[in-house]
């Protein structure tokens, strides 16, 4: 009899917890949610995040506010969220450098693997191999032949050491067997000017800012380093189509939360964004801003980030790339 009473009380307690969780979901968010961007206003991270937060507010209610905390290769924002209260009201719109820094074993004040809950899904910034439109290079095969003919190496404009464009270029060079000379420049616009002036041979870049140069026939798109062709520029073949299936790299963003954030809020936020992502109008907004969304579960997003860390750790080790 006593055992039945204890069992009944336990079941009632579990039911109460379940009802409490559902009640919280029904009310969430009942105050402002701060979503932290690790970059300044205006770029693809900030722009796509504002589309997401606006859609969340419109579709599900609540108040989502974007806060820009740029600096230190995203470490300022990452640290801020890692130390925030894990109640679902402070989120991080993480970016690729959080994985790249981990892959490079850079000492940070947070631990990617233990200080965050992974929400997702992934928002991808495809990277395109671009050359001067007057270059004889028109295909990936042409580019590899040209690069191998340059004894001192092919010159790539590089807007950030250890950033996704730089690491993808290193992966391409080591896979295809040519020497790479990454030249630092201040931003994508500077890369395009260096290309147009003929001072560099190529760059890997997101497309939005480069489109005016492409439309004016000053730059030429050779390939995209995504796993599949991009809706942003479907005429660009993948490196896989050109004989280099392992050359896959891109910028990416995705939501994370402080470790300890309730699982039901993690799952709720993920399911809401995946629901928003089905809307064609929302997809077009993202495409026009230079990004694409890939619906995922939190577990799939975590697996994706883990794979990014492993991939770039191998590339940096093999090419002796240090980010310290």
The pLDDT tens digits for 271-313 are 999 999 999 999 999 999 999 999 999 999 999 999 999 999 9
Query: Does the pLDDT at position 225 exceed 70?
Result: yes
Task: Label residue 323 by pLDDT band (50, 70, 90).
Answer: confident
120 and 267 together in one domain: yes
**pLDDT tier for residue 209 given thresholds of 50, 70 and 90:** confident
Quick one: 313 and 255 in the same domain? yes
The pLDDT > 70 percentage for the chain reads: 92
Number of Cβ within 10 Å of residue 173's Cβ equals 21
Each residue's pLDDT tens digit, 95-146: 999 999 999 999 999 999 999 999 999 999 999 999 999 999 999 999 999 9
The answer to whether position 112 is within a domain reads yes
- Mean pLDDT along residues 203-221: 94
Q: Percent of the chain having pLDDT more than 90?
A: 86
pLDDT of the residue at 26: 64
Residue 86: inside a domain, yes or no? yes
Structure tokens at 220: 């030429």
Q: Which residues pair with 219 in a beta bridge?
A: 132
Domain boundary among 206, 224, 242: 224
The structure tokens listed for 29 are 């968010």
List all residues 6 or more positions away from 99 whose beta carbon is below 8 Å from its beta carbon: 112, 305, 308, 309, 312
Verify that 267 and 300 share a domain, yes or no.
yes
Q: Is residue 232 part of a domain?
A: no
Structure confidence at residue 324 (pLDDT): 73
pLDDT tens-place string over residues 249-261: 999 999 999 999 9
My answer on whether 71 and 108 are in the same domain is yes
Q: Is the pLDDT assigned to residue 2 strictly greater than 80?
A: no
pTM of the full structure? 0.89
Task: Tell me if 16 is assigned to some domain.
Answer: no
Q: Is the pLDDT of residue 23 over 70?
A: no
Q: For residue 278, count other CB atoms closer than 10 A to its CB.
A: 10
How confident is residue 4, by pLDDT bands cut at 50, 70 and 90?
low
Q: Do the strands 180-184 and 292-294 form a parallel or antiparallel pair, or are they unpaired?
A: unpaired
Which of 80, 103, 70 shows the shortest CA–CA distance to 315? 103
Q: What is the pLDDT of residue 159?
A: 82
Domain of residue 178: give its range: 128-224
Higher pLDDT, 233 or 21: 233
**94 in the same domain as 138:** no
What pLDDT was estimated at residue 17? 46
pLDDT tens per residue, range 150-160: 999 999 998 88
Q: What is the CATH number of the domain that holds 36?
A: 3.40.190.150
The stretch 174-187 carries a mean pLDDT of: 93
CA–CA gap between residue 252 and residue 125 (Å, rounded): 6
Dihedral over Cα of 59, 63, 68, 73: its sign: negative
Please check whether residue 266 lies inside any domain of the structure: yes
Residues 32 and 119 in one domain: yes
- Domains: count for the chain: 2
Same domain, 153 and 105: no
- The whole-number pLDDT of residue 3 equals 52
Within-domain flag for 150: yes
> What is the band of 25 on the pLDDT scale with cuts at 50, 70, 90?
low
Predicted confidence (pLDDT) per residue in 61-106, tens digit:
999 999 999 999 999 999 999 999 999 999 999 999 999 999 999 9
Query: Is there a single domain that holds both residue 44 and residue 110?
Result: yes
For residues 180 and 133, state if they share a domain. Answer: yes
The token pair that represents 314 in the structure block: 């191998």
Handedness of CA 99, 211, 281, 90 (dihedral sign): positive
């Amino acid at each position: 009899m006593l055992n039945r009473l204890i069992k009944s009380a336990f079941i009632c307690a579990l039911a109460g917890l379940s009802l409490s969780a559902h009640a919280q979901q029904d009310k969430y968010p009942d105050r402002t949610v701060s979503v932290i961007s690790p970059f300044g206003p205006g770029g693809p991270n900030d722009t796509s995040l504002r589309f997401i937060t606006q859609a969340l507010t419109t579709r599900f209610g609540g108040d989502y506010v974007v806060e820009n905390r740029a600096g230190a290769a995203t470490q300022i924002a990452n640290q801020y969220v890692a130390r925030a209260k894990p109640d679902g009201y402070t989120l991080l719109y993480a970016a690729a450098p959080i994985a790249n820094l981990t892959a490079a074993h850079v000492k940070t004040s947070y631990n990617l693997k233990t200080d965050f809950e992974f929400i997702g899904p992934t928002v991808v910034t495809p990277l395109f191999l671009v050359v001067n439109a007057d270059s004889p290079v028109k295909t990936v095969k042409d580019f590899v032949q040209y690069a191998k003919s340059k004894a001192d190496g092919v010159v790539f404009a590089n807007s950030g050491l250890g950033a996704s464009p730089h690491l993808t270029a290193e992966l391409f060079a080591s896979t295809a067997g040519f020497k790479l000379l990454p030249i630092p420049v201040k931003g994508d616009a500077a890369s395009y000017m260096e290309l147009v002036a003929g001072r560099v041979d190529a760059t890997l870049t997101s497309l939005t800012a480069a489109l005016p140069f492409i439309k004016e026939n000053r730059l030429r798109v050779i390939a995209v380093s995504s796993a599949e062709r991009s809706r942003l520029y479907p005429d660009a073949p993948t490196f896989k189509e050109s004989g280099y299936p392992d050359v896959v790299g891109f910028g990416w963003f995705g939501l994370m939360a402080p470790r300890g954030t309730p699982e039901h809020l993690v799952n709720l936020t993920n399911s809401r964004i995946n629901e928003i992502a089905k809307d064609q109008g929302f997809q077009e907004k993202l495409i026009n801003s230079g990004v694409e969304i890939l619906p995922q579960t939190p577990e799939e997003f975590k697996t994706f980030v883990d794979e990014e860390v492993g991939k770039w750790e191998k590339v940096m080790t093999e090419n002796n790339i240090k980010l310290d």
